[in-house]
Chains A and B, each alone.
Chain A
Amino acid sequence: MLNANIDTDVIMPKQFLKGIDRTGLDKGVFFDQRFRADGQPNPDFVLNQPAYAGAKFLLTGPNFGCGSSREHAVWGLYQLGIRALIGTSFAGIFFDNCMRNGVLIALVDEAQLRQIMTHDTLGKDLKLTIDLPHQEIRIEEKEAIRFEIDQLRKNVLIEGLDPIGSTLQHKDAILNFEKRHLAENPWLA
């Protein structure tokens, strides 16, 4: 998915936004490109090609996930089996949504992305492994590419922490801040 600016309307079209739960969204991922008008899989779409079926990682173009805040896009990717996105830049809201749902964003530079894209086994039997603790993408367990991730995000992903529970450990700090903030800005009370 290497085009620039692939937006969340394309990743998860509107007809899949109508639930009040998170289920059944794997079907919606890239729906208009993945399926033909008659509902059959579009053989030209990359994830429908045998070499890429069941892919766990996506290589993505710049500004991937731009546009709408719909977290459904990320829920759908996860349900489809996607566990990591490897790319040079991501839209802000989408980035946060991924990190909140166990979809790793592995930030690499253009040369690193090209190193994977041009590997002669890509589209055949290329095997990529992502080692989060060591921040490495390994190609065939031979070449290693270092990716960037904030320590804080990394810990949340590795330890599977409940972010709300973690924040509520700072409950007193929030209460104290709030008291002072509302006293200083009484029109906000």
Chain B
Amino acid sequence: MKTRTLYDKLIDSHSVKTLDNDGHVLLYVDRHVINEYTSPQAFSGLRQHNRDVWRPSTTLAVVDHVNSTEPNRTDFSESESGARQMKYLAENCDRFGIELFDLLDKRQGIEHVVAPEQGFVLPGMVIAAGDSHTTTYGALGAFGFGIGTSEIEHLLATQTLVYKRLKTMRVTIDGTLGLGVTSKDLVMAVIKKIGASGATGYAVEFAGSTIADLSVESRMTICNMAVEAGARGAFMAPDEKVLAYIQSKPRAPRGSLWSQAVAKWMTLKTDEGAQFDREVHLSAEAVEPMISWGISPDQADIISGFVPSPNTTYGDHQNAAIERALEYMGLEPGTNFEDIEITHAFIGSCTNSRIEDLRQVAAVLAGRKIANGVRGIIVPGSSLVRQQADEEGLVDIFKSAGFEWRQSGCSLCLAMNEDILLPEERCASSTNRNFEGRQGAGARTHLMSPAMVAAAAVSGRLKDVRKLKPK
């Protein structure tokens, strides 16, 4: 029998029919997550054509992108447009019978934090959502990928997508991560190595002993950010850690269904000898804390480095691109990264806002204060994470350090709500994109791990977290 990769197995098992000889199949989608800002026009399309939702119970709606993160928020929205999007989502969920976690639901949060947290994501599933970071779900052995609004409408109406098979890439990471080095540093190192388009057109499987050693939440950070290398799907074979993670979740299968499911899930791995279109290897020992210095996620380097000169080549980036990045970022070539002063420190986003991330932040902030002139903001990934952080006593540490402790949402990762930076403000950020204008027109973003953001916050400048003196 032909050997197959995990990707082949996931796609084969969800192909309703082959549509041509170019690799297009009609792909059945098990679960669908929607938000308030990319779904409105999809529902309007259904209404206009008098179409129904194929299987409403497979879709979960969450408010996350436009909502306020004020600590004392109510369901009143200062923003008229935000209110309109939230209201329309509620109307659509009501009309089409879709479950909604609205703003004041205690399970509300960022869709890619909420869905795994609820056990809505299970190994072997194909999941699509109108958000590029749907790749996150690959950490549970599901195949998640982002789609646009037209495809949301198609999925709601047919439970399927017209899908073209991708090429396959395996990224194998072996070895032990050093102290103070996290999965965020790992994925940033992968993106730097293969480039912002290195995985465009590929589905990426992560493998190796380093991945096996990581917690499930840490793995989510890697699959989440794989899209910044262009991956349209990034996943890992499920293991015992994944089972333990899922078993505690509200929607996990129970009883005999659980054992039946586990038997199936344990077959979800790439066959020995299966061929990938591309193989990439990385040694975990070589990875150090990373920061981005430019306006593309692959414009990143180890914290002990310095701002590059436009006369050097930098991966795919030509001189002009580096020059543009330095101009936008307001950086001089040769500056040590640790001399770059910040105005803001942001912990949040679907990449790094889970409880383990917050514990790492608290470990750095304990007994320390934010530097003068820095505004620190923590936006937990979900309202349940928020509650847990409170129960664990982390919130006291955050507040004593001088951080704002907000309600959940996407917030300053993409600045669609009121959380937005001014031109030339400079933010150490645990998010996923350092694009021009991402956190506000003219605002400057440096991506890094949550622990590194905390280190920057207390230092007033970018800082190797490993160099902070023990408290």
Contact = CB atoms under 8 A, between A and B. Distances in A.
The judgment on whether A and B are partners is yes
A8 to B, nearest CB: 9
B433 A71 contact: no
Contacts of A177: 16-17, 28
B24 A167 contact: no
A67 interface: yes
A32 B436 CA distance: 9
Interface string A6-49: 01011001100111111000000000100000000000000000
Interface in B401-443: 414-416, 433, 435-438, 441-442
B130 interface: yes
B70 interface: no
Interface in B297-326: 316-318, 320-321, 324
Contact of A4 (B37, B145, B196): B196
A150 B22 contact: yes
A174 interface: yes
Contact of B153 (A5, A32, A164): A164
Report the interface size class on chain A: 35 or more
B16 A187 contact: no
B124 interface: yes
B81 A19 contact: yes
Contact of B148 (A67, A71, A173): A71
Interface string B345-375: 0000000000000000000000000000000
Interface string A42-63: 0000000000000000000011
Contacts of B436: 9-10, 32
A93 interface: yes
Interface residues of B, number: 79
Interface in B165-194: 166
Contacts of B318: 4
Interface in A76-104: 89-93, 96-97, 100-101
Interface string B11-33: 00110110110101010101000
Taking each of B22, B145, B197, B317, which has the highest tally of chain A beta carbons within 10 Å of its own beta carbon?
B197
Given A89-B201, A92-B232, A96-B148, 7 more contacts: A17-B416, A22-B41, A66-B197, A71-B148, A163-B154, A164-B157, A167-B162
Interface of B: 13-14, 16-17, 19-20, 22, 24, 26, 28, 30, 37-38, 40-41, 44, 49, 51, 54-55, 66, 79, 81-82, 84-85, 88, 122, 124-125, 130-132, 145-151, 153-154, 157-160, 162, 164, 166, 196-197, 200-201, 228, 230, 232, 253, 257-258, 260-261, 264, 296, 316-318, 320-321, 324, 414-416, 433, 435-438, 441-442
Interface of A: 3-5, 7, 9-10, 13-14, 17-22, 32, 62-63, 66-71, 74, 89-93, 96-97, 100-101, 150-152, 163-164, 167-168, 170, 173-174, 177-178, 181, 185-188
21 contacts: A4-B296, A5-B316, A7-B435, A9-B437, A21-B41, A67-B132, A67-B433, A68-B131, A74-B148, A90-B200, A92-B145, A92-B166, A92-B200, A92-B230, A93-B148, A150-B22, A163-B150, A167-B158, A170-B16, A177-B17, A187-B122
